[in-house]
Chain A
């Protein structure tokens, strides 16, 4: 057969692949390879087989060729086949033994003489060694060797910052603590034209920072995309409204407790891209916080219909049941989600929370413990374990776990609040005040969400007999929410301790208006009223 005929056939194969006619592609690739016996054609044939899901055949073909160990692409494709066949050990040995250190630096021992044939004709391609590192990470993760997996993912993104999948795995599976994430990002070497990508990545990582810092990041990114690409106006517009970026923003709103804003944003996004997975997750969480069970129901139904194999879909069902307080059912669906995808952090936490909501501490703890083991970069499970210990009054243990959560994520105000509560319960009121003040220093903006912290601070001040500070804190809490029993009761008690009986009585009444059968307030009210009666008439009033 003539050279140009073969060239034409190669074209046919490529076209078949792009039109997803894999059987035809396999047929013609086989013919071409038979004619030429060129490694490049064999690779093409293997590629077609791989795409046609004939993994075993593709692997066999690659293995039969002599150069499988020498050409990185052959090796990578063969490993991919083994990945699909779930033969992880073989896959790893196919990729060759290299070592990686804690920071994701690769030490290649003996593969320095590999050759790398036939680059694709593109300008920019993902570094093959990055892809290999990533695949190693996948294999280790499948073998449940998370430490190795994490290191290989790191190596992958280091080898090529464009290998987004590696970063995604690291972030979504909460493999890194806050600091590690930042240091990894700063160690990446971006090409000169990829400055925007650097900013984009920095938006992806955890967002417990100050409001101003985060907003600046977003603004920078929006501006960056305009400046860097002033020649192509269409691109400028697309990135500003990019779904991924907006999903990040939504996640940020969620962390700030701006659930309304978050929900609005995710609703718009989901209209544009109905099953954007990350956005869906944030949307579900926001709907949960807002108690929008109707929306959750619809979402869950649609997800289960379209993606019955996704853990997220069953997670949504669990969320719905959790929202309507049917914890038994919700637990069933959360557990289904975890069995579909063991690395789905939210489902594990939801599973624990559903137990905790019914005060079944032991089961809740075991779910949290699993989550903490699986997701070392996520501080929430540790935090929740601490909360469970606190509920059983094991304050020392609780404090330990909170401290641990603090090292994982030092910027989440909730951690400081819980530390304060522990200190308060251990009667270390000075320490409690410090922690609560630290909480308030860390929150993005004072909103109703943080009203309990203000009240806690006030309680601690009261215990320290700093009544003036306590009163002003209580008043501050009342500007955030006027429906809290503990605020009124605390304020009343503070006044009572200062012998201001009339004010105390007024506030006890307000507390009892919210909860008429509150024992503390009822008793204290009677005492205050007797004290007031005993104290006689206020001379000011008498001689007015």
Chain B
């Protein structure tokens, strides 16, 4: 049988041709009595794919109300039995192990799947599919560190990608930059770096990388949807329109292309059309994560919360590490007036992305609602938000307000002052400024720090509205008080 490992047998070639024509069962049947490792793998893999194909068909046939169904791959059970025996007897090649891993994942036996995939990549490191399956099983850094992988440059790629998935973007970036020294012209690495930068929200960097990438590789569709996300976030209408038209001409039936077009329509405010394209992306690839999330966003825009929730749920079901989808779920429940649920989902997202102030603020707002009314917790959340670069500067203001509400005027004053300083530094004006000034003025007056209070009151005079009048009357009051103090003293001491 060793012979057929070197020279492919006739049966193998016939089966391979059937396989290439996607006649999986036919291929498997031809190989029924072949015992070579390669033939065994092809037979099992063909059966697996036949099962997958049937599963997909059943999903469409028996589609449930939420677009899901109980369809399962019927070949998995028998394949698992066969492959486990092969592995026990030690007559299985790395590809067989890879397939065994797939089967085990489908069965939900993750620990064994990890071991098996590890064996596979250790004996044949060039099978990226095996690496990516392995990566999908490394849900925490502890698991990742517990793997025993033999040293190989493929391992570096794996680690870089795994770090990225575990949201350790800086580590991932270092790895990729290191790899770039060796593979200096790799578009893949460039795209991955862009992805890491994207997650770090360095949109300028991402834009630069993608511009270069698309110069080198103009017909690239892979990962370009991320570029469109950046353009969307920066509201670059023309660039996004150009990109959308370009990928449309390249290949409009790619999930990436559909997402880009969806983003394009969304930016134009045509949410129905946008949803249509995200739906198309999902039709092309049911497990295309970002399409689910983006579609959820669109539904939120359209105020169709149930549909949004469904879409987000699908997203977290595919990848429970997508913090945006968790956040979206939280938002949707918030819209529906279910703060307890919203809180749960915000917690999930904050667990994954603990340096995002928006998430902490969202959580805090849930704690503030009438149903929960847990202000201490809200304060904790705002404090976290304030400590991690709160772009919209909501946290400081809210912190001050909450403290004031709880009657802790010292803390409130502290935060109002901080907020004020920040507004001054960023040269922002607005009702928050007025509120801060008014509070500080009143606070200082109560503390009998009249000079400070006067400064704040004077600043208030620059604004219109009722606060201006309040400030005026306060100033007047303070001045009379000041002038009357000595009088009072005299009166006091004068019998």
Chain A residues at the B interface, C-beta cutoff of 8 Å: 260, 448, 478-479, 481-483, 502, 505, 513-514, 516, 526, 529-530, 532-534, 536-537, 541-542, 544
CB < 8 Å neighbour of A530 from B68, B340, B350: B340
| Measured CA separation A125–B68 after assembly (Å) | 67
Chain B residues at the A interface, C-beta cutoff of 8 Å: 65-66, 68, 70, 72, 77-78, 107-109, 317, 339-341, 343-344, 347, 350-351, 354, 366, 372, 374, 376-377, 380-381, 384
Residues of A within 8 A of B376 (CB): 536
Is there contact, CB below 8 Å, between B380 and A483?
no
With A479-B107, A533-B372, A536-B374 known as contacts, the answer to whether A260 contacts B341 (CB < 8 A) is: no
List the A residue with the shortest CB-CB distance to B111. A479
Is there contact, CB below 8 Å, between A482 and B108?
yes
A-B contacts, 29 of them at CB < 8 A, read A260-B77, A448-B77, A478-B108, A479-B107, A479-B109, A481-B108, A482-B107, A482-B108, A483-B72, A505-B344, A513-B317, A514-B70, A526-B340, A529-B340, A529-B341, A529-B344, A532-B347, A533-B344, A533-B366, A533-B372, A536-B374, A536-B376, A537-B377, A537-B380, A541-B347, A541-B350, A541-B354, A542-B380, A542-B384
Residues of A within 8 A of B343 (CB): 529, 532-533
Instruction: Give chain B's interface secondary structure class.
Output: helix
Residues of A within 8 A of B351 (CB): 541
User: Shortest CB–CB separation between residue A454 and chain B, in angstroms?
Assistant: 14
Residues of B within 8 A of A542 (CB): 380, 384
Instruction: Give chain A's interface secondary structure class.
Output: helix
User: Shortest CB–CB separation between residue A193 and chain B, in angstroms?
Assistant: 38
| CB-CB nearest 7 A-B residue pairs | A482-B108, A533-B340, A533-B343, A529-B340, A536-B377, A530-B340, A479-B109
Residues of A within 8 A of B109 (CB): 479
Residues of B within 8 A of A478 (CB): 108
Is there contact, CB below 8 Å, between A544 and B381?
no
| Measured CA separation A448–B81 after assembly (Å) | 12
| Measured CA separation A516–B306 after assembly (Å) | 14
Residues of A within 8 A of B374 (CB): 533-534, 536
| Measured CA separation A526–B384 after assembly (Å) | 27
Is there contact, CB below 8 Å, between B381 and A537?
yes
Is there contact, CB below 8 Å, between B344 and A516?
no
List the B residue with the shortest CB-CB distance to A516. B66
| Measured CA separation A514–B339 after assembly (Å) | 25
| Measured CA separation A208–B343 after assembly (Å) | 53
| Measured CA separation A481–B380 after assembly (Å) | 42
| Measured CA separation A403–B376 after assembly (Å) | 60
User: Shortest CB–CB separation between residue A224 and chain B, in angstroms?
Assistant: 26
Is there contact, CB below 8 Å, between A479 and B340?
no
Residues of A within 8 A of B381 (CB): 537
User: Shortest CB–CB separation between residue A508 and chain B, in angstroms?
Assistant: 11
User: Shortest CB–CB separation between residue A522 and chain B, in angstroms?
Assistant: 12
Is there contact, CB below 8 Å, between A483 and B70?
yes
| Measured CA separation A483–B347 after assembly (Å) | 27
User: Shortest CB–CB separation between residue A153 and chain B, in angstroms?
Assistant: 40
Is there contact, CB below 8 Å, between B354 and A544?
yes
Is there contact, CB below 8 Å, between B354 and A479?
no
Is there contact, CB below 8 Å, between B108 and A479?
yes
List the B residue with the shortest CB-CB distance to A515. B70
- Assuming A533-B343, A542-B380, what are 16 further A-B pairs, CB within 8 angstroms? A478-B108, A479-B108, A482-B107, A505-B344, A516-B66, A526-B340, A529-B341, A529-B343, A533-B339, A533-B374, A534-B374, A536-B374, A536-B376, A536-B377, A537-B380, A541-B350
User: Shortest CB–CB separation between residue B390 and chain A, in angstroms?
Assistant: 16
